[in-house]
Chain A
Amino acid sequence: MNLATYARRNLWRRKGRTILTILAVAVAVLIFAVIRTVVSAWNAGADQAASDRLATRHKVSITMQLPLNYSTQLREVPGIEASTWATWFGSKDPKERTPFFAGFAADHNTWFEVMDEMQVEPAALEEWKRTPNGAILGDVLARTLEVGVGDKLMITSDIYDGDWEFKVVGIYKPLRRTVDRNSMVFRWDYLNNDPRAEFAHDQIGWMMSRITDSTKSADVSRAIDKIFDEREDQTVTMSERAFQLSFLGAFAAVLTAFDLVSLVILLIMTLILANTIAMSVRERTHEYGILRAVGFRPGHILGFILGESVLLALIGGVVGVLLTLALINGVMGPYIEENMAGFFPYFQAPVVVMLQALGAAVLLGLVAGLFPAYRASSRKVTDALRRID
């Protein structure tokens, strides 16, 4: 009989307790994975965002706008292949079917050329160029707002007065998982020509450029900002993801708190494991005395107990990882990707996180077993035998 067999048989002596402990470890692993997935999904956008694209906005504020002529001057910067611009519309659904969606006015000649992960049928693009109030929507948004190609769509705005009527001319297809399927693009000139947008006439919110060599993005960024450095409105150019995050800067603190909570759950797991092992060891003090009396060394006892503890944690960890696969990657992930694409375009538990969870479980299983194992192995044989409860 070897250590593993002994540990396995011992575990099964208290079926109820073992099953509860395995469940507790599994739940802890699942929670750990959920939290770590949120954090990693938040940061993952950075890896997934196009690295050959740069965003340029007003240096002082995310809400201040740039003069339209910046968009032509930007193209003179060497290394820029194509560029486009857009303005935030602050769109709202008057029927309140969705609390929030991204709506913006973009240059219809260049937008989809630069944002090439949003694929639009050539016919729809042609139709857009012919239709001043044409709008192109993501499939999720179109479903929420119950519109299809050819339909009229009424939208209000947080920034511009009154009702705005659009004609849906197309649905864009996401070619990358990071594409927000819950957004709407319409023509910038339609907004600019409207008297209700007079206060922001010939102004644009931000510019997007695709560069020829993504390794030179830092140089190109500097070159762009340099052109406008002497102007009234200075610019700041950054990666697309940094641009998205600049709207949500203070969210970082919440994520740090999340990280801390993921450690708390590991601590809870350790306590539960240690408690189970301590209880088992206490019940078996007498047995360990007998084992010692027939010639097993203290090291053997230590090994038996640690083996049991690690095995317990390992089984719990594996069950937890299976739960993670089923719940996060199977149920939660697709739901979040569809409905919260703006925050989490990609929400799947990464393999690294699952390995981390499993590794932490095994390691903490060892830690949890150490104290009871040490106590049991260093107990005097006569003391152990005398204990009968």
Chain B
Amino acid sequence: MVPLRYNVRSLLVRKVTTFATAFGIALVVFVFAAALMLGAGVDKALSSSGRDDRAIIMRDGSDAELSSRVEGNHLGLIRDQPGVRKSDGASVVGEIVVVVTAELADGSGGTSNVLVRGTEREGLAFKADGASEATAFRPEIKIISGSAPRPGTTDVIVGRAIAGRFKGIGKGQSFDLRRNRPLHVVGVFDAGGSSYESEVWGDLDTIRDSLGRKGMVSSVRVQLEDKEAFPAFRTALEGNKELGVKVQRESDYYKKQSEATAGFLSGLGMAIAIMCALAAMLGAAITMNGAVAHRTREIGTLRALGFSRLAILTSFVFEALLLSLIGGAIGLLCVMGLTLVSFPVMNFQTFSEIVIRFIATPEIIVSSLIFSLVMGLVGGLVPAIRAARISPVEAMRG
């Protein structure tokens, strides 16, 4: 086998060419990884909103809370079902959601849709409010600035991802859901990076009254004894045809939303990255072709020294792979900067905006590197075959 050092040094000698090609590959890997990181960000935000020991109950036929309606007087019946957590603390919480049009605070005049959630007293009892972690309905919620909303008032809190992003929806500001009935933003909350952080939360009755939907909720969230309790709970509720409801694990509900949105976004990004890869592969092919042409005499000498065709082939394929791997590494290094950036995307199921962070996972890093290697392999294979077919006699004759 030709020593690998030979290839490393060959790349180093032709600095400009190596850099230009590697940087081209780096850019493609950047786009590729960014698309995957965007998808992962959406997935993280949505999947951490749902837990598998909590259930969400909606009207049968509705895909999202936004279009669902459940009679408020069903809540008592739901509470009596098997599997509902019986210990201290809240177990059944009715909620209403609506999306409101909000103007961006950056002065661009653009608007977006923000999801406003009204939840029952128990749904608003967070750790900060004195409830213990074991009994709080959503222990993942923490008030990070200001105060928790007082139940029964027009207090609302805003998720940290969108705090200050829209006019009227920052701490200390107020916005109208209905004419002359302003909701006052009293605090900002953290929800562990979940999509709740792109929502505004307030009191169920206040928001329901503003919408004129007395007695109705959009969905009911239920804390189960444990995740094994779900099937029995579901069978019991869905068996009651009069209720006309659909019961899902919270985690499944959000997984479906994530598939629609993350799938679309990362699919779109990947399609573009693959197109760009075509250009970068041609770039790699040009470089490797040049390398082979340039080193014809060297290759002839190597062959004369007794290196086999296979050794030459392997050597040039290795060089192409090394080149693309350098590019991939540069691209990954740059893309890591995106993890500091937040990006608004649209949740296709609710028409509302969720602000996410780009997230790098080990899978994304590995697949980006594989992607760069594939570019190198495809670009470098034909030149490597050409190199292997060089006849030593003719090559050394010049």
Which residues of A line the B interface, CB within 8 A? 14, 16-17, 20-21, 23-24, 27-28, 30-31, 34-35, 59-64, 90, 156-159, 161-162, 199, 231-234, 236, 246-254, 257-258, 261, 264-265, 267-269, 271-272, 274-276, 278-279, 283, 389
Contacts and interface: CB of A to CB of B under 8 A. Distances in A.
B76 interface: no
Contact of B63 (A59, A158, A251, A261): A158
A270 B66 CA distance: 48
A253 B344 contact: yes
Interface in B345-373: 345-346, 351-354
Given A158-B62, A249-B112, A272-B286, A34 B275 contact: yes
Contact of B21 (A64, A265, A275, A283): A275
Contacts of A24: 279, 282-283, 286
A276 B279 CA distance: 13
The binding surface of chain A is classed by DSSP as: helix
Interface in B223-237: none
A271 B283 contact: yes
B283 A275 contact: yes
B34 to A, nearest CB: 8
Contact of A261 (B31, B244, B343): B31
Given A17-B290, A275-B17, A63 B346 contact: no
B98 A250 contact: no
Nearest to B345: A250
B24 to A, nearest CB: 4
Interface in B31-55: 31
Contacts of B378: none
Contacts of B27: 264, 267-268, 271
B21 A271 contact: yes
Given A16-B289, A264-B30, A268-B24, A161 B346 contact: no
Contacts of B130: none
A251 B289 contact: no
Contacts of B111: 246, 249
A271 B176 CA distance: 53
Interface string B55-73: 0000111111011010000
A34 B275 CA distance: 10
A254 B112 contact: no
B99 interface: yes
List the 10 closest pairs (A to B, CB-CB), nearest first: A250-B346, A24-B282, A250-B353, A249-B112, A275-B20, A272-B283, A271-B24, A158-B67, A279-B290, A271-B20
Given A61-B101, A268-B28, A278 B16 contact: yes
B315 interface: no
B100 interface: yes
A304 to B, nearest CB: 19
B336 interface: no
A303 to B, nearest CB: 22
A145 to B, nearest CB: 19
Contacts of A21: 282, 286
B134 interface: no
B280 interface: yes
Contacts of B144: none
